[in-house]
Structure formats: structure tokens, C-alpha cells
Amino acid sequence: MQSIHDAEQIGPVLRELILKWAGKVFPKDIPEILVVDACKEPIGYTLGSAITLAVSAQYDRSYAVGDYRVYMGPVDDVEEEEAAERGYLLPEEQRSGHAITDGLVWVLRGRILHIARVDEASLASRDHSPLNNEARKKILTEIFHAPFAKLFATCKTPPTEAETIAAFGKFYGEVSKTALTRTETDIQTNVDRLADLNAQVQQTLNTLVHQREQLRLLRLAVNEKCAKTEANIERIGRQLHRLVGPRIESITISEKELTAVHKNVVIEDADSGETSELGDIRLRLLLEDGKDLIRFEGVGGNEDRSGYFHPHVAKNGAPCLGNIGNDVGKLLEQREWGTLVLLLDEFLRSYNDENPYVQWFGGDRDQYDSCYDSGDESCTDCSDSNCPYWSDRWDRCHENSSTQDCMWCANTECAYFADELSECRNSHSRAECLKCRITHCDHHPASEEECHEWNADDDCDECERRGECLAWAGENESECYDEYGPGRCDDCAHAADCQILRETPADGQDAGETDAPQPDSAGAAVGGSGTPAESLDAGDAG
């Protein structure tokens, strides 16, 4: 809720009239008039001297009444309380649409008045000619004076005990409804969570059964004398031997690595039919730290697009397997190396334009190259992810930028910004941070007071600006006087408030008789000369 003085729904003319009408009923102290947006907030039940006014928040109707036209918002009258009083712009025989709410401009229920929001700026004569303020006041008085007079008369009498109980009953009912809804939601959430947990338990049990079976087979596999193991070795060995051919140039097997060179890899865009020759790519299946790792690498002469030699292989060689990930995982578990090599060969020769690391087709490469070579556009400001230079834009920007450049840029999308910010801060003192012109930095204090608050326990003793800092001088008057006074005290802006100067006699005066020197309005702090310190560039400060 808002006070009537702050509520935007109450225009200046209507606000002036309401307060005028209230002053006639409450000649001494006008009670607080609270305004609620009836379309956004629930209407409260105010007891005591405060008065509640609910206002509709929009305009969607225009009525011609007599010689003038009124634009206003709807008033919903859904409770149908017998005790409510209602006011209409139109007589009943002229209403169209809903007979109850059409032309309804106010409803008074006890101590709450609900009024339509009238666009006083659009009050016009019947032919839409604008009205002056006096004419607007006349129309608004016609519409609203009666309900407000009844409201103020009702609220002049304190509420009865029955009103308080009835109001609290409505409040209690709403609280109960809210608690009921929240409890129902919590129960459903827990039911869904329980179902998820049951599903996870079942999945874990199935995985455990599968792993135990795998354990049994692996124990047989390490036993070279097992007939089944020997049969599997012979079957998969023959399969790998037969794979060498037009698509797979060679396969190399060692104790902890299997590699295969995939020849002349070509991918095709399904939409345009455009193809791209990627060259030869080597597959490496590694047994590393008890894990099976799949990595790819270019053999030589591969096309390089922003560090990528394949649209679905990361720069470190890790593939994005997409919908074949589960199949690859099963083949690794079952040690079906031959089938796995065939599946990964199909992977290398396929292209999905929905999720590549870099868009391989669909753009004019010459256009992108020309844009990149010209340097007219900033890659970091570009949003064209189809550009082959787009994905590593931050890497190139960082390689060609100084810490000062990064501080001025302050682009939080850049992965290097946080490190550069820390590097800048660690390379400079707090005093340098205070003088730095890069004020959007998180380490830049807004004032000497804030700088002193941040660093009083650590850096003030080492700070070269300590003799100029009023915040330090104000808290360390004795130390300041011993180190810098009395010769520099005359120019100190803190001198007028310095207790040490009040207690220290000047030459020829007794203690307590000296007056503190008046500061020069343009003077510096302790030891200052009246000339402001020159700001540092970010290259010298953080």
C-alpha cells in the first residue's frame, strides 16, 4: 500500500479534492489515506484511524455523460454484498453489457472505498475537446464527492469490536487459504521427489546388477587361460584387422592405447548439400588412471577454424558425442573395440548444425575472412556465432590487451576479466586505487572515508597518502601531530576539528587560548597545497 501522497493512480486534481473533502470532516488531523492498486495487490482491511482506498489501475472504457466524456477503468463488483453501496455514471436503462458493472465508478463496503481510475487528463467535452482544471474539478466532484463524504463519515467513528472480528476473520481466511495452497504444493513436491528417489534407487540397483556382471566377466577376462576370454580376443582381433581399408588407414595397438587413423574425412551439410574435406584424423582410445578416454587429433594439414579441426571435437580433442554417447559407453564397457571404432568413424563423417563447437556451414567464409582481416568490427561486440572467428574472440582479445585495457573494458562475459581484476589489485596499493580513474572497478573506494574503512587495519601505515588523508587524520590526531605538525597544521582542512591543536598552545599563548586555524576551502588535507592529486591511469593503478 502507498500513501495517497505517493500513489500515482491518484492524479493531482483528484488528490487535491480528496484532501479538501477529508479536511471538512477531520478539521484537525486528517487520518492517513492508504491506496492499494486493485489489479496487483489484495485489498486490506484497515482498522483504526487509517482509511483504505482501492483504485483500478487501467483505462478501458469511455462514457459520454451529459455534456462531457469520461475515460476510466473497470470496477469489479463480484462480492455482491448487500451492505455495499454503489455509484454509477449511467442510469440503469442506459447501461449495456453487464448490467451490474457497466458504468460502475465506485463501491463502498464499510471502511473501504473502491473507485475506478479516472483519466483526469483525458476528461473532455462530448466532442473530445479538452477541459480546463476547473471543469475537471467540477466533473470529478460530481462523480466522487458523495462516496468520499460517506467514507469519511464512516471512518470518523472508531470501528466496533464486531468490525474488528469480521476483518480478522477475512484475514484469517486468506491466511488459511495461503497455508492450504502452500501445504498442497509441498505435499505434491515431496510426492514427486519421492518418485524421483525411487526411480534413482531402482536405477542404482540395476546399475549394481550390471556392474557385478561386468566384474564377473572382467575377472574372467584377466585370466588368459579362460576359453571364453581367448575366444573374445580372437574375434575382436580379427574384426580390427579387417577394418583397415579405404576408410581406416591403420590401427595401432599397445598395452594401454589403441589408435586408428581415419582417412579423408569429409562432412556434408544436409540442408545445402555443401561438403568440407577435413583430412585425416587420428582416434586414440586411452586407458588412463583406470578410465577409458576417447580423444581425436589432426594428423597433418587439417583445416583449422579458430583452433577446431572438426565441428564436433573440442580443442583438447574430446568429442561431443551427442545422441551416440550411451552407445559408446556400452561398447566401452563390453570392450567391443571393433564396433566402437566403426561407430566413431561414422561420428567423424557426420555433421549436426544444431550444436557444433564452431559453425562449419551456412555462412559466407570469404565475407567472414574479409571482416576479420579488415579489423573494422570488434569481435567481442559481435553476436554472430556462425562466424568461424567468433568462438575464440575472448582468447584473441586477451592476448592482445594489457591489464589496463581489461580494466577499462570491464566486460564480465570475458573469462579473463576476474583474473585481470585481481592482478591489477595485487599490483597496486589502496592509495593508488583511490586515485585511479577507473571508478567502475570493485576495488575503487568511493571516498577517503571508505578507503580508510577498508584499510585501517592493514595498509594505512604504509600508505604514501596518509599525510593527505582527512579520514586517517581524524582518527589518529596525536600521531598526525607528532609526524606532520605543527608546521603543516595551518594548511590542514581538519585543523578546525583537531582536539590536539585546541590543547596545544601556540607561541606566546597559554594552553586553551589558541584558536584553531581556519581551513582554506581549496586547501588539501594534512600537508596539502590546495592542488588536487592527479588521477592515475589503470596502467599504474588498480
Q: Quick: pLDDT tens for 282-291.
A: 999 887 665 6
Instruction: Tell whether the model's pLDDT for residue 532 goes beyond 50.
Output: no
- Tell me the C-alpha distance between 388 and 368, whole Å: 8
- Among the ranges given (298-302, 416-420, 469-473), the one the predictor scored with the smallest mean pLDDT: 469-473
Q: What is the pLDDT of residue 147?
A: 92
Q: What is the pLDDT of residue 254?
A: 81
- Tell me the C-alpha distance between 428 and 281, whole Å: 48
List, as one string, the DSSP characters of 7-66.
-TTS-HHHHHHHHHHHHHH-SS-PPPEEEEETTTSPPP---TT-EEEEE-----EEEEET
Q: What average pLDDT does this structure show over 394-416?
A: 76
- Specify the amino acid at residue 183: T
Q: What is the pLDDT of residue 433?
A: 73
Q: Are 498 and 397 in contact (CB under 8 A)?
A: no
Highest mean pLDDT among 112-126, 245-259, 483-497: 245-259
- Tell me the C-alpha distance between 240 and 510, whole Å: 106
Q: What is the pLDDT of residue 178?
A: 83
* Residue written as grid cell 576370454: 229
Q: What is the pLDDT of residue 364?
A: 59
Q: What is the pLDDT of residue 236?
A: 81
* Residue written as grid cell 573374445: 232
88, containing H or E segment: strand 85-88
535 compared with 161, residue with greater pLDDT:
161
For 7, the grid coordinates are 500513489
Q: What average pLDDT does this structure show over 192-208?
A: 90
Q: What is the pLDDT of residue 271?
A: 79
pLDDT in tens, 469-527: 766 676 676 777 777 766 667 667 677 777 777 777 655 444 444 444 444 433 333 34
Q: What is the pLDDT of residue 437?
A: 62
- Tell me the C-alpha distance between 89 and 92, whole Å: 9
- Of 459, 424, 464, 458, nearest in space to 441 by CA: 424
Instruction: Tell whether the model's pLDDT for residue 128 goes beyond 60.
Output: yes
Q: What is the pLDDT of residue 518?
A: 46
Confidence of residue 80 (pLDDT cuts 50, 70, 90): low
- The structural domains of the chain, with segments of one domain joined by +, span 2-159, 229-348
pLDDT in tens, 16-40: 998 899 888 888 888 788 887 775 6
- Of 506, 471, 475, nearest in space to 489 by CA: 506
Instruction: Tell whether the model's pLDDT for residue 423 goes beyond 90.
Output: no
Q: What is the pLDDT of residue 479?
A: 73
- Please give the order of strands across the beta sheet that includes 51-55: 2-3, 33-37, 51-55, 112-115, 104-109, 85-88
- Among the ranges given (297-301, 316-320, 402-406), the one the predictor scored with the smallest mean pLDDT: 402-406
- Tell me the C-alpha distance between 452 and 449, whole Å: 5
| Helix (H/G/I), strand (E/B), else coil: 510 | coil
* Residue written as grid cell 467540477: 138
Instruction: Tell whether the model's pLDDT for residue 411 goes beyond 70.
Output: yes
Q: Mean pLDDT over all residues of the chain?
A: 76
Confidence of residue 319 (pLDDT cuts 50, 70, 90): very high
What residues form DSSP beta bridges with 282? Answer: 261, 297
Q: Are 343 and 252 in contact (CB under 8 A)?
A: no
- Specify the amino acid at residue 363: G
Q: How many helices (H) and strands (E) does the chain have?
A: 15, 13
Instruction: Tell whether the model's pLDDT for residue 239 goes beyond 80.
Output: yes
Instruction: Tell whether the model's pLDDT for residue 347 goes beyond 90.
Output: yes
237 compared with 456, residue with greater pLDDT:
237
Q: What is the pLDDT of residue 311?
A: 92
Considering just the CA atoms, what is the radius of gyration of the chain in Å?
A: 40
For 9, the grid coordinates are 493512480
275 compared with 229, residue with greater pLDDT:
275
Residue ranges in 222-257 assigned as alpha helix (H): 227-243
- Tell me the C-alpha distance between 421 and 415, whole Å: 11
Q: Are 159 and 48 in contact (CB under 8 A)?
A: yes
pTM, rounded to two decimals: 0.35
Q: What average pLDDT does this structure show over 278-304?
A: 84
- Tell me the C-alpha distance between 6 and 36, whole Å: 11
